[in-house]
A = this chain, B = another copy of it.
Amino acid sequence: MARRNQHSKEELRAMAIEALADLVEREGVDNFSVRQIAGKLGYTPGMLYHLFVNLDDLILHLNAQTLDALNARIDQAAGHGDPMAVLKAMAFEYLRLAREHTALWQLVFSHRMANQAPVPDWYVDRTRHMFEQVEVQLKDWVPAADQRQRQVMARTLWGSVHGICLLHVENKLNVAGDVAPEAMLESLLDHYLSSCAREGEK
């Protein structure tokens, strides 16, 4: 009962991540198990522990993949246009992924490390990337602001964008007449950024 397949360890890792992604997208954020993942691959549960240190580790790898997709979209949006247009495009890409791959997106932001194991660097790097891209745009938008101020603005803005997308995705907004999340992102960026710019001028 050994070496039934000719897959390399790296191939198997990729297959396991893909199996988990499939499962999550099909059945929802909290409806998967080690046994189901292994089953999809045609293996027994224990085998997965030769590929990943535990389930958290596997989830982390899938989340990294999702963050890569998110960053790719954001980088693409950064391409051209004035900062306002670029930041809007970025926010809309953020929302688009949250919409089109809701469960994967939720997994990224809802997953908490079970043990208090520290989040690995290669994971933190991917989340930092987003904030940096926002800061780059703010450098153009409010040239008068110093780095510290831009840091506050970038976090404020992106925390806000995140909150809006989150409430939408979790259906926590359908109290008393729903509002399209696009309208909310538009409102946020228009008003927040225009006021920041005005302050920078004076």
Residues of chain A touching chain B, judged by Cβ–Cβ distance below 8 Å, are 29-30, 109-110, 112, 114, 124, 127-128, 131-132, 151-153, 155-156, 159-164, 166-167, 170, 172-173, 175-177, 179, 183-184, 187-188, 190-192, 194-196, 198-199
Contacts and interface: CB of A to CB of B under 8 A. Distances in A.
A109 B190 CA distance: 27
Contacts of A110: 110
Q: Which 10 pairs between the two chains have the least Cβ-Cβ distance?
A: A163-B163, A160-B160, A191-B195, A195-B195, A159-B164, A128-B175, A156-B184, A162-B163, A159-B163, A156-B187
B187 A191 contact: no
> Chain A: interface secondary structure?
helix
B192 A152 contact: no
In the complex, the count of this chain's copies comes to 2
A66 B191 CA distance: 32
A126 B177 CA distance: 16
Contact of A196 (B131, B163, B191): B191
18 contacts: A109-B172, A128-B175, A128-B176, A151-B176, A152-B183, A152-B184, A152-B187, A156-B164, A159-B164, A159-B167, A160-B188, A161-B163, A162-B163, A162-B167, A163-B166, A191-B196, A191-B199, A194-B195
